């Protein structure tokens, strides 16, 4: 339930976290676009290294998505043994 404003309108405040997230993504897209536009030849030369760098980064940041909550050998209640993948 949203709080009432004294003048009787049902106006909501903007969600600044979501606005900041969109601004971050737009800024990142602009920076990548500028980099490709101004330094396209250099970016093409770096692509193999960027792909190699992506592998450990995906490994580090992607493991939280499929059940690797603890590495102590214990599983949470209701979780199957194995890798923790769920259908």
pLDDT for the residue 34: 93
pLDDT of residue 27: 97
Query: Would you kindly state where each structural domain of the chain is located, as residue ranges?
Result: 19-62
- Residue 69: other Cβ atoms inside 10 A: 13
> Using one digit for the tens of pLDDT, what is the confidence trace for 9-51?
667 888 999 999 999 999 999 999 998 899 989 888 988 998 9
Can you tell me the mean pLDDT for 55-83?
64
| % of the chain exceeding 90 in pLDDT | 30
DSSP 7-59: TS-------HHHHHHHHHHHHHHHHHHHHHHHHHHHHHHHHHHHHHHHHHHHH
CB atoms within 10 A of CB 63: 13
């Amino acid at each position: 339930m949203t709080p009432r404003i004294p003048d009787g309108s049902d106006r909501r405040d903007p969600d600044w976290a979501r606005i900041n997230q969109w601004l971050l993504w737009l800024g990142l897209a602009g920076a990548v676009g500028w980099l490709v536009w101004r330094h396209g030849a250099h970016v093409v030369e770096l692509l193999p290294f960027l792909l190699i760098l992506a592998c450990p980064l995906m490994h580090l940041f992607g493991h939280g998505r499929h059940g690797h909550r603890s590495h102590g050998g214990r599983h949470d209640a209701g979780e199957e043994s194995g890798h923790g993948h769920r259908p």
